[in-house]
Structure 1
């Protein structure tokens, strides 16, 4: 770990203006971004007495190798620049807002040609509108009720594609819970308008739709069209059922987001209730890891930045009021910023009395419960990960805990379709965004050791290339940073091959390599003729096993994909007259080789550009038989079945 005194800037060199600062690690990676009204006062607090800092702040300043700053004209500019850099660099030591629940959301995929209504969990996707969260039972009931009024597509891509090909809608289309755009019952524009209405209803405009249906029902009764009036009546009952699920807590004109925070020295729980039209339309929660001794005011300011800075996250809709437990330090600047995002005035305030203050108290109770639940669930998990990293540091004689571990595995069948995988674990947790796949060809594919040497050479050659570039131009997604530990699947031969690759690149002393053999789960080191045997109950061994198994899973999945692709290509390549373009058209039409094999000659001729003779040749090759050319009625172009 670095000594903060080694990179501490001279006090007189730090300006007293407002600005934004960045801490970087020895590899140039930004690990923390902060803003300050007075840069000198803020930065010197990190170096004056490091021993008195909070544990995570202490770890941050000892992990960093440099600090830099940018002076701006005002606190508002500092606020905007800090948010931009946090989104760009995603520093590991900044406040991390993680969802504390796995409740499902009702999602509408507005980014698709035909938007789809679905239940969704996990990370949010671009171009998708989210409503909720709901409990598992409530969301299904809500979705089922609204589809009778707004029959938006809710089927998967596979079901939609099959309906298009067959010309027949699925069951939902027959029972009028889907407008069936797959078979052309509704145009693309009308279906999107239907999805927009669904989103508007879920977004708080229910009264407008209910009033419109009541007016149509009255007109139908006046025209003695009782059948249509009964259908409209049922739709109104369904909409009211969904609309009345939330209790009225404020006046119908109230649009507000109500935030509450409960914190201790290391973490904080954040809760927000989304109130639209006087009703609670959704609830979300986050758990925040505090890196430094943050005040409640600063924490609220960071929270508002992250929640409203991403317009995709807020669906581009900000309320008229944002109610918080305490005003942030830069409340005026945040108010101006939020007003600019909304395009109309946003009032940022602390409710003192009345219904809004009572609601804030309720939200705070949720935050208290969320923090208590999080601590009871996470205490063992955090302790276990820390223990595992500490055990690996001691067993492998590493200078520091292996905060970043990369594991490599080779997969093939008798030397064909040789591939490799790289999985990444940071702080004991997988980081799937940095997983990588490798295709291995030529001499490197002759055996596992040659393949391992090739993969490690390619991975760290990219690292060296990135290291030569200026820090600002490095691509963090392309091997820009080295691991503390490399784990290869195998024993001494694989470890030797990996170490040789690093030595040839001149970085053999920078990265520690170990191998984990499957038979006895022994850990092989580059030096020594005997492996290290970790206790069976060791958390360090469990972590290595999980990393190794994840690398194996990722590698074999990639191998199967390539093998299936190569098998399909090799079979169709043997069909005379079937070039690459027609191969692609045939596979796109049927979706898979399995469906193509099940198709008849007549069905294959439905593909554009495939005539009877070529269809018969494809069918014969797929079934491994010699099939004569079919008899064709040249007057009609149809096949005469024998």
Structure 2
């Protein structure tokens, strides 16, 4: 690996115009391509203090050994050149939004003499039209089965087709009229191609024409007293309606639009795109990609707090996704033209998708991309017509955008759970952690603690437990931090030390570590576990959320209590560094490590559990806020008052004698409470 300082361009040698730059490695391979409005300002970011760079970006600059750039006339040209170079060089550190190979699709082999329709998963191939992707495999098969009533196209494999061609009799589908049986000459190749054209037209969204034709034929058959044919056409029309009903109308104005949304964390981003044609959802796609280069950010998407990297992610996605789609459309058009020339056909058997089909008139996004005007211009050039790129603000489109955002959020969550969801992945994750920390055995039981507060108020902590890589929620704990309570200051280090002490206070006595409640006799911690049971046994690995200061504070507690059989580490969120007590440098796990994903999941679960408890405590405090200022009234007695009277409003109506009836209250304290609630009244 090369030190970035060794190939840093000389000061002032980088132009300030817009352009595109390439990082190359020792073998002159392009490892990253980026664009910038101002090349000097952008490239200087890569040669700052490497510890301030995102981990993926830091890995890239150390992998590279040189950087070069090309100045262009405008930012639109920079966008186009960046896309071209990414396609040409396929750089390893660029985010590439490729078609998801796991989604099922409906495919039609238009390049064959006798095209066939079939269920398909995998990369796209030339000479094949694809529809979807669908969310479930059964949806593809059921749609195909319904449409075969109306469009009896061939669905058999080449081997089955050849066998029945030699036998001279059709297969079962031919006998039940779900195949036009071109294998035995029931229809000619030209007639079969016409059936395929109708199928392609219907799947492309031209459904009204098919409905009208079937309705007209059914009415004509009824007038001619051909009731059997009319009944069959009626059933065909019912099958068409059933297929269309599965594509629910989401936009009543018949809009053609694509909706794009992202959800991110520090390392990855999930993108979802819904294709709406004629107001109906015609397809859905999704990717989870690793953030890198200019798109890297240490921020995580949260409600109402967008990731600052989202505009850049959206910009790159829009140019790359629609650029690839237009290229595929043009390739299909060339394939069809070649087929026409080879067979001497007068006209195209079906109309391949045009750029105007794959780049819709309206593209809705959750935030506007960087350089929105330039992106819109590039998309309009791809489409050959104007493109409306905007953020929906209200109505059905805003509601559908929220659905797309939820899908992106769920996709990222499922992606992370999938990595630790099976036994093999969990075993690999535990082994990664064992090797990285130099443990004798895999950490089968891992505990993690996290602190939550707002400017030092309502300070709480969580403790989550994972066994064999899976959460053990029965052993979860949550604490109210006592030493920081009420002082209005935030001291995560002291809070970590307190929670560690309470967790391990009895560790060496009976190996049944529970938070010590006798240390704070005036107030008992609520819900110490979800089932009020003690820990069964100590952890192999104890994680604190934080860096070296938090780890050192917890280690002091370990030294004080004589804990030597539990491994202690800290997980710093910004760069996902693992800090070990006594070590100056952190342990860095590879970005694709199963062990790192497991540690992230544990840390995120601790954060979620702490946030939930913090919100509960904050709400409870706000409900009894009028009692906070009364001297001599602690949290336990405040709770007793609210529990006894039901609300602060009813407590305010009570007399001193009624207050004195509450458990733990005497006449003097009751008078103090009454005076605190009625400051303007005369002394009782």
Q: Compute the TM-score of the two structures, normalised by the length of structure 2.
A: 0.55
For residues 178 and 312 of structure 1, what CA distance do their matches in structure 2 show?
33
For residues 375 and 29 of structure 1, what CA distance do their matches in structure 2 show?
31
Aligned partners of 1:98 and 1:287 also within 8 Å? no
| Ranges in structure 1 where 5+ consecutive residues have no aligned partner | 395-538, 544-642
Q: Per-residue deviation at 1:148?
A: 1.2
Counterpart of 2:5 in structure 1 is 5
Counterpart of 2:26 in structure 1 is 26
Structure label with greater radius of gyration: 2
Counterpart of 1:342 in structure 2 is 383
Aligned partners of 1:18 and 1:39 also within 8 Å? yes
Equivalent residue of 1:309, what SS? helix
For residues 382 and 130 of structure 1, what CA distance do their matches in structure 2 show?
36
Counterpart of 2:341 in structure 1 is none
For residues 105 and 146 of structure 1, what CA distance do their matches in structure 2 show?
15
Q: Say what the alpha-carbon RMSD is for the aligned residues.
A: 2.7
Counterpart of 1:306 in structure 2 is 320
For residues 192 and 71 of structure 2, what CA distance do their matches in structure 1 show?
50
Aligned partners of 1:53 and 1:292 also within 8 Å? no
Counterpart of 2:128 in structure 1 is 128
Counterpart of 2:268 in structure 1 is 267
Counterpart of 2:45 in structure 1 is 45
Question: What do residues 105-164 of structure 1 show as CA deviations (whole Å, max 9, x unaligned)?
Answer: 111122323221111112222332222213122222111110111111111111122233
- Decide which of 399, 406, 411 is 1:370's aligned counterpart: 411
Counterpart of 1:251 in structure 2 is 252
For residues 379 and 387 of structure 1, what CA distance do their matches in structure 2 show?
12
Aligned partners of 2:101 and 2:122 also within 8 Å? no
Q: Per-residue deviation at 1:385?
A: 8.5
Aligned partners of 1:126 and 1:312 also within 8 Å? no
Aligned partners of 1:116 and 1:154 also within 8 Å? yes
Using a 3 Å threshold, how does the CA distance of structure 1 residues 85 and 391 change in structure 2: closer, same or farther?
Answer: farther
For residues 65 and 47 of structure 2, what CA distance do their matches in structure 1 show?
13
Q: Show the 5 A alignment for 1:160-171.
A: 160-171=161-172
Using a 3 Å threshold, how does the CA distance of structure 1 residues 72 and 293 change in structure 2: closer, same or farther?
Answer: closer
For residues 173 and 428 of structure 2, what CA distance do their matches in structure 1 show?
48
For residues 84 and 62 of structure 2, what CA distance do their matches in structure 1 show?
25
Counterpart of 2:140 in structure 1 is 139
| Ranges in structure 2 where 5+ consecutive residues have no aligned partner | 296-308, 330-352, 439-589, 595-684
Aligned partners of 1:98 and 1:288 also within 8 Å? no
1:92 counterpart = 2:114: no
Aligned partners of 2:250 and 2:279 also within 8 Å? yes
Question: What do residues 496-552 of structure 1 show as CA deviations (whole Å, max 9, x unaligned)?
Answer: xxxxxxxxxxxxxxxxxxxxxxxxxxxxxxxxxxxxxxxxxxx9xxx9xxxxxxxxx
Question: What do residues 259-291 of structure 1 show as CA deviations (whole Å, max 9, x unaligned)?
Answer: 111111111111111111111111111102101
Aligned partners of 1:203 and 1:276 also within 8 Å? no
For residues 44 and 305 of structure 1, what CA distance do their matches in structure 2 show?
25
Q: Per-residue deviation at 1:42?
A: 0.8
1:109 counterpart = 2:109: yes
Q: Per-residue deviation at 1:250?
A: 0.8
- Decide which of 355, 367, 387 is 2:396's aligned counterpart: 355
Counterpart of 2:332 in structure 1 is none
Equivalent residue of 1:285, what SS? strand
Aligned partners of 1:76 and 1:333 also within 8 Å? yes
Aligned partners of 1:21 and 1:35 also within 8 Å? yes
Aligned partners of 2:105 and 2:119 also within 8 Å? yes
Q: Per-residue deviation at 1:98?
A: 5.7
Using a 3 Å threshold, how does the CA distance of structure 1 residues 335 and 189 change in structure 2: closer, same or farther?
Answer: farther
Aligned partners of 2:267 and 2:290 also within 8 Å? yes
Q: Compute the TM-score of the two structures, normalised by the length of structure 1.
A: 0.58
Equivalent residue of 1:217, what SS? helix
Equivalent residue of 2:12, what SS? helix
For residues 386 and 98 of structure 1, what CA distance do their matches in structure 2 show?
31
Counterpart of 2:221 in structure 1 is 220
For residues 384 and 195 of structure 2, what CA distance do their matches in structure 1 show?
26
Which sits farther off after the overlay, 250-259 or 126-135?
A: 126-135
For residues 253 and 123 of structure 1, what CA distance do their matches in structure 2 show?
31
Counterpart of 1:421 in structure 2 is none
How many residue pairs match? The answer is 395
Equivalent residue of 1:366, what SS? helix
Equivalent residue of 2:78, what SS? helix
1:210 counterpart = 2:211: yes
Aligned partners of 2:93 and 2:293 also within 8 Å? no
Aligned partners of 1:168 and 1:183 also within 8 Å? yes
For residues 201 and 163 of structure 1, what CA distance do their matches in structure 2 show?
28
Q: Show the 5 A alignment for 1:165-204.
A: 165-204=166-205
Aligned partners of 1:21 and 1:68 also within 8 Å? yes
Equivalent residue of 1:102, what SS? coil
Using a 3 Å threshold, how does the CA distance of structure 1 residues 161 and 201 change in structure 2: closer, same or farther?
Answer: same
Using a 3 Å threshold, how does the CA distance of structure 1 residues 361 and 278 change in structure 2: closer, same or farther?
Answer: same
For residues 210 and 284 of structure 1, what CA distance do their matches in structure 2 show?
28
